[in-house]
Amino acid sequence: MARATSQFVCQSCGAVHGKWSGKCDGCGEWNSIVEESGETNVPKGVNKSGGRAVAFTSLDGAPDERTRRMTGMAELDRVCGGGMVPGSALLVGGDPGIGKSTLLLQAAAMLAKSGLSVAYISGEEAVDQIRLRAARLGLADAPVDVASATNVRDILAALDKVGGPDVAIIDSIQTMYADNLDSAPGTVAQVRTCAQELIRVAKRRGVTMILVGHVTKDGAIAGPRVLEHMVDAVLYFEGERANQYRLLRAVKNRFGATDEIGVFEMTDAGLAEVENPSELFIAGHSDTTSGSAVFAGIEGTRPLLVEIQALVAPTSLGTPRRAVVGWDSSRLAMIIAVLQTRCGMNLGSHDVYLNVAGGLRVGEPAADLAVAAALVSAHLEQPLPPRTVVFGEIGLGGEVRGVGQADARLREAEKLGFERAWTPPGSPAGKKGSKPSSKKARTSLEISEIGLLRDLFDRFDTTPQRGNLATV
């Protein structure tokens, strides 16, 4: 008989150690190793006798054409890739109080009203607490089956049967436990085992399984990283508590585009969809303010206009300060270095503050030129020309490189009433733009191509300062 032993498991990556140590050898995390007891020794090998051979099929067979399950929330369906796929497993993470339970309860109510059977199982709230939230959101009449349970064995008995629910929501996976393990809920062994059993039922019965996951102080899903590999889609619910806007971002999706975002607004009646996020993020933009540039970006498949704000002020410290919100700080340091080295703009004695308005976090390199334009505008105290959008990637040599989906970016800017664009060479032709290098659709915008970063200064009136840029 196998002897029960204690083992030391990393709560970040799931690596097993023979003894406790301060640093995990697998992922390098500190203070993440916890002792777990009750695990039995795993046999060295599996006897193949008694096993059933796996049935193989060819690739030329007709696929299962089951339609996606539409929630009725356009932003949520967009992030999921056009609806939820039957038999898929989705992992939704976010900070405490950000609105994960509210979002999923609204989605469950709309799915139930469309004729699907929906089960909402909570391990954190009682049934009466869920009913109070539903009444506050005006969803008390939705035919959603609600239960409060934490034992996975009991939950599987309710899901794994003929006539079971079409959609199951587990809130949250860290509160679930398997009674055949002695470890506490939320540990690596429990989270991995519970998720594996729930996903197995989802695949076998065609149930759309939605798992809610807690996040760490760094914003990552708490528990073993293998959990993100087991599910089909990982969605992060982002936002600031002081800001009423929330972003649902897909960082992994086997059935749709990654980095797709959905924008919601938190109201007294729950989460409301924002149909045109570009208008939201540039609502407070002023053409007369220096240090402000509108960036035409791409989030997933959606073009999005975002205001980038910069402030350059003389420093009173020995080391100038660099503060960044919504962008990569190392990327900002690179842009400042290129401006100083290739363009002669001295920022070594100035504090630099950069902010992406609206609470959005921009990750694509196409924002380099917009950041540089905002910095130059703030340093020279001159605003950009009115109704101008900017995009382009900057290299270390000071060259401006082309980016993908330039026509989609320009169409979004044109739709919102912008008149001109600063772009890399080879962008679609405009009213007064250069001849494009490739055959793309024309735009009514006035295109100004910038091949080198130092050409950016020609768009500003630098007559008094241009010869003095290196010392300003």
As a whole number, mean pLDDT of residues 77-105 equals 92
Share of the chain above pLDDT 70, in %: 87
pLDDT value at 100 more than 60: yes
The strand ranges marked E within 138-260 are 145-148, 167-171, 208-213, 233-239, 245-253
Per-residue pLDDT, 58:
79
How many Cβ atoms from other residues are within 10 Å of residue 171's Cβ? 24
As a whole number, mean pLDDT of residues 99-109 equals 94
Share of the chain above pLDDT 90, in %: 54
17 touches 7 (CB < 8 A) = yes
As a whole number, mean pLDDT of residues 27-51 equals 65
pLDDT value at 211 more than 80: yes
Distance CA 309, CA 290 (A): 9
Mean of all residue pLDDT scores within the chain: 85
As a whole number, mean pLDDT of residues 248-272 equals 89
Per-residue pLDDT, 13:
75
Of 249, 218, 199, nearest to 92 by C-alpha is 249
Where is mean pLDDT largest: 35-49, 58-72, 240-254?
A: 240-254
pLDDT value at 47 more than 70: no
φ, ψ for residue 169, nearest 5 deg: -115, 125
For 91, which DSSP code? Answer: E
**Six-digit token pair at 256?**
């749709």
pLDDT in tens, 112-122: 999 999 999 99
Amino acid 400 reads: V
pLDDT in tens, 138-151: 999 999 999 999 99
Q: How confident is the model at residue 222 (pLDDT cuts 50, 70, 90)?
A: low
Per-residue pLDDT, 97:
85
Distance CA 342, CA 339 (A): 6
DSSP-assigned states of every residue in 368-401: HHHHHHHHHHHHHT-PPPSSEEE--EE-TTSBEE
The strand ranges marked E within 174-217 are 208-213
pLDDT value at 305 more than 60: yes
Per-residue pLDDT, 350:
93
pLDDT value at 217 more than 70: no
Per-residue pLDDT, 1:
40
pLDDT value at 448 more than 50: yes
Distance CA 84, CA 174 (A): 23
pLDDT value at 467 more than 80: no
pTM for the predicted model, two decimal places = 0.77
Give the HSE-up count for residue 352: Cα atoms under 13 Å, Cβ half-sphere: 23
As a whole number, mean pLDDT of residues 199-225 equals 81
Which segment of 8-22, 151-165, 433-447 scores lowest on mean pLDDT? 433-447
Q: How confident is the model at residue 433 (pLDDT cuts 50, 70, 90)?
A: very low
DSSP-assigned states of every residue in 260-273: -EEEEEEETTEEEE
For 312, which DSSP code? Answer: E
Instruction: Look up tokens 């300060």; give the residue.
Output: 321
As a whole number, mean pLDDT of residues 144-172 equals 93
Which segment of 70-74, 115-119, 222-226 scores lowest on mean pLDDT? 222-226
For 55, which DSSP code? Answer: P
As a whole number, mean pLDDT of residues 202-215 equals 91
pLDDT in tens, 266-289: 888 889 998 888 888 888 888 889
Per-residue pLDDT, 338:
95
Per-residue pLDDT, 111:
95
